[in-house]
Each structure stands twice: as structure tokens, then as C-alpha cells.
């Protein structure tokens, strides 16, 4: 049977969260929708949580691996299992908003290649933090035909966050045939950005991206499981690994790669790098200062005044002063609470 939409959920040891995720999705599905959960070797209660819901929803499929494939390979695997025309990758700890599937089924009638939705950013307890607009000066639904050079340029220039370039798992809803057509080198696997690898690779051929201009889910912040607890490693994933994808697809000196570097400054702001510097000074056994300094050089490599200033601040800021400032800010927040 072919479905209009496959909701694909790769997971590993998210048993405490995935039940809430599924409960936000399952009441919305129709006969045109399937849900596929790929369990990458969980050792917690994930299987039981999913199987308890399969009894009431036959369109919920559960696949379990006896090994950890890694996030990139698990994403590719779960998409390969999909039988829908479109796939929506979904994190196992996020929450789908009411009527999201109904709205999406209506939207995909236009038969575009990729649809982009927004999210509401939340903390671990799913308390609202902020909205997270993807574009500057674009607040409503808009179609970008990237087969046209002018619209492609505008798409990159208007980007506010890296989610425009498919950094967030649940942001894009894409035709499975587009995903399958992408020529993805082996070097993209292991970057943690295989979604961007597949979809960015199709931009030079020309695709149509329909920005829906609406939030379809709540995103749980600070719950990723692929940085191994290291701040420097998390910075490496966010800076070097994503730039590697962009440079491989478009070329390091391209305008496209420049705009991707630009929006990555929002993903990995200076305050995060300064915090990582303080931690590297305090815990050199866990955080590599040399790697962090190299990442800062990559992050601020474009010759702009803003980049020069941020690089200078990072280089001259003493770790001890950063520690004092951090404690002062924490104390102020505690008093105001």
C-alpha cells in the first residue's frame, strides 16, 4: 500500500519521551498516513512504549535493530522503510501540534519537492521558550522555485536560521523520490547532518521549496544524544561538520556556503563558544582547547567586521573572568526568580 505521508521516527533510548510524541501524532492520522519507528538498539523501555500503542493503531510500524547504527544511518534506514510519497522525519521527543497532519495533507496537494514548517522552541519540560522564525522578513506561506537563479539567491539571502538548510530533523517534509535521487558521499555519514546532506545536494539540480509559514510542532531543546556530553564536540558538529556538507555541495567560496556560514552564527553564538572556552580551561580532560580555537577560526573565517570582533573577544577573554561573569549572571537570575 502507498501512503501520502510517512512519519519517520528514528530513536535511541528515548523511552521516557516517545510515548508523549506518539500520543500527539496518532490521534491525527488518517488512512493516508503511516508512522514508522526505527529503534537503533535501545536498552530502555522504548519497545514496550511503542508496542503498547500498536494494538490500537495498525499504521504504526516498529522496527528494532540490535546495534547502534548512528543517527545518520538510522535516518537513512527509516526513510528507506517508508511507503509514503512524502516523508516527515520526526524527533522522538518532540510534540506535534493539533491539526498539523490535516494541514500538511492539504498543503502537499501542490506537489512541491520540499515543504518547510516552523516549530515552537521549548525546554526539557516542554515549557514555551520562544518562537523561531526561519526567514528574515517572510512571515507567510511562500513558494521558492530554486530552478530560477533569482529565487535561489533570495532563498539563501533571506535565511535567518540553518533550518532553512535542513538542519532540524522535523523541519522539512520531502518527496521520497527527491531524497532517493540525491548522490550522497560516504563522508556525509557521521556528520550528524545527513538530512541536510540529502536535500542540499538536490538544490543545484533545482527543486521547489514551499515554506508553510506556520509552526507544526513543539521542539524540545537541549535533549540531543550525539555530542557525547562534550561542549567542544557539540560545537564541532554545529560548525565544522555542517560547513563540510555546505562546502562539499556548493564549494567553500560560493555565495551559498557563505550564507550557510552566516546563519550558523545564530546556531553557535559567541556566548556558547565563550562558555566552551571556560569549560575547556576548567576540564581539559573532557574539552579540547586546541580544537575549540580551530573551530572559532573556521566559524569566523569570513572577512567581516563582526567576525573580526567576535574572534578577538574570544581570543582575549580570560577563562577566569568568564567564570566570574557566569556565576554573577546565575546569581542575578536566582535573585529575580
Local structure of residue 164 (DSSP, 8 states): G
pLDDT digits (tens, 9 = 90+) for 72-131: 999 999 999 999 999 999 999 999 999 999 999 999 999 999 999 999 998 888 888 888
| Residue 67 confidence (pLDDT) | 84
Let me know: does 119 contact 168? Beta carbons within 8 Å.
yes
For cell 547532518, the residue is 193
Residue whose C-alpha is closest to residue 34's, from 110, 99, 87: 87
Count of other CB atoms within 10 angstroms of residue 232 = 23
Q: Which cell numbers in the block locate residue 158?
A: 533571506
| Residue 222 confidence (pLDDT) | 74
Q: Which cell numbers in the block locate residue 20?
A: 508523549
Count of other CB atoms within 10 angstroms of residue 331 = 10
d(CA 60, CA 33): 9
Count of other CB atoms within 10 angstroms of residue 83 = 13
CATH fold of 3-220 reads Spore Coat Polysaccharide Biosynthesis Protein SpsA; Chain A (3.90.550)
pTM of the model: 0.91
Which residues, in sequence order, are CB contacts of 39 under 8 Å at separation 6+? 11, 12, 46, 47, 50, 62, 63, 64, 65
Q: Is 106 exposed, middle or buried (0-12, 13-18, 19+ CB in 10 A)?
A: exposed
pLDDT digits (tens, 9 = 90+) for 205-245: 999 999 999 999 999 987 666 556 789 999 999 999 999 99
Q: Which cell numbers in the block locate residue 141?
A: 506561506
| Residue 319 confidence (pLDDT) | 82
| Residue 127 confidence (pLDDT) | 86
Q: Parallel, antiparallel, or unpaired: how do β-strands 142-145 and 95-96 relate?
A: unpaired
Q: Parallel, antiparallel, or unpaired: how do β-strands 95-96 and 208-220 relate?
A: antiparallel
Let me know: does 51 contact 22? Beta carbons within 8 Å.
no
Q: What ranges do the domains of the chain cover?
A: 3-220, 231-336
Question: What is the dihedral sign for C-alpha 62, 76, 292, 222?
Answer: negative
Which residues of the chain are under the pLDDT cut of 50? none
The CA radius of gyration of the chain, in Å to the nearest whole number, is 20
| Residue 151 confidence (pLDDT) | 97
Amino acid at each position: 500500500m502507498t501512503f501520502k505521508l510517512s512519519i519517520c521516527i528514528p530513536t535511541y533510548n528515548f523511552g521516557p519521551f516517545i510515548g508523549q510524541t506518539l500520543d500527539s501524532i496518532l490521534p491525527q492520522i488518517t488512512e493516508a498516513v503511516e508512522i514508522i519507528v526505527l529503534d537503533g538498539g535501545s536498552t530502555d523501555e522504548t519497545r514496550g512504549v511503542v508496542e503498547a500503542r500498536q494494538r490500537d493503531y495498525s499504521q504504526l510500524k516498529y522496527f528494532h535493530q540490535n546495534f547502534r547504527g548512528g543517527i545518520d544511518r538510522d535516518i537513512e534506514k527509516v526513510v528507506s522503510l517508508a511507503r509514503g510519497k512524502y516523508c516527515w522525519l520526526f524527533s522522538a521527543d518532540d510534540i506535534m501540534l493539533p491539526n498539523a497532519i490535516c494541514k500538511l495533507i492539504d498543503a502537499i496537494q501542490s506537489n512541491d519537492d520540499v515543504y518547510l514548517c516552523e516549530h515552537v522552541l521549548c525546554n526539557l519540560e516542554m515549557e514555551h521558550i520562544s518562537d523561531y522564525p526561519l526567514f528574515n522578513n517572510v512571515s507567510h506561506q511562500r513558494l521558492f522555485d530554486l530552478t530560477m537563479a533569482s529565487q535561489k539567491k533570495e532563498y539563501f539571502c533571506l535565511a535567518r536560521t540553518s533550518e532553512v538548510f535542513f538542519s532540524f530533523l522535523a523541519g522539512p517534509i520531502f518527496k521520497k523520490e527527491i531524497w532517493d535521487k540525491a548522490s550522497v558521499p560516504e563522508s556525509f555519514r557521521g556528520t550528524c547532518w545527513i538530512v541536510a546532506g540529502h536535500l542540499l545536494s538536490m538544490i543545484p539540480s533545482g527543486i521547489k521549496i514551499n515554506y508553510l509559514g506556520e509552526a507544526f510542532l513543539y521542539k524540545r531543546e537541549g535533549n540531543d544524544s550525539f555530542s557525547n556530553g562534550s561542549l567542544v564536540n557539540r560545537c564541532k558538529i554545529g560548525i565544522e561538520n555542517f560547513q563540510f556538507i555546505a562546502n562539499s555541495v556548493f564549494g567553500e567560496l560560493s555565495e551559498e556556503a557563505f550564507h550557510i556560514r552566516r546563519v550558523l552564527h545564530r546556531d553557535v553564538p559567541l556566548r556558547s563558544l565563550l562558555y566552551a572556552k571556560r569549560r575547556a580551561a576548567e576540564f581539559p580532560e573532557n574539552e579540547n582547547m586546541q580544537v575549540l580555537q580551530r573551530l572559532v577560526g573556521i566559524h569566523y573565517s569570513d572577512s567581516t567586521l563582526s567576525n573580526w570582533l567576535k574572534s578577538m573577544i574570544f581570543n582575549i577573554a580570560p577563562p577566569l573572568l568568564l567564570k566570574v561573569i557566569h556565576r554573577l549572571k546565575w546569581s542575578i537570575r536566582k535573585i529575580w526568580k
